[in-house]
Structure 1
Amino acid sequence: MKKFFRWYLETTGETPKFDAIGPLDIAEFKRYMQNRGQKPATINRALACLSTFFTWAVEQGHAA
């Protein structure tokens, strides 16, 4: 989560808002990690973490 939030802040200059993050943001974050030479297992773990977090956020009403 820290990597994603840091990347989002550096990329957009804004603090991430749950409702503003979409599939394109996730795909760009994945590309960013690939370009930085992250191993596939590290990328998959980060994406799984984001998926779990956003599933929770939707269930709690923090995101749509």
Structure 2
Amino acid sequence: MPTAPLHDPAVMAALDAISEFVEKTTGTAPTSAELANALTRYFVLNEIKEHIEMLREGE
């Protein structure tokens, strides 16, 4: 279970940033299903994990 609620402003801002980036670079905003699919891919999950570990280590 995530420690931050999904309606947390930081989480919402991150999802908005992703959506805006995809729309800007492709011309079309992603659907919720597309975002969910992309965010749960192994490569993305591993990148997020590594980034969080880096932040926690203070690098």
TM-score of the pair, normalised by structure 2: 0.38
Q: TM-score when scaled to structure 1?
A: 0.35
Structure of greater Rg: 2
Greater relative CO, 1 or 2 (CA 8 Å, sep 6+): 1
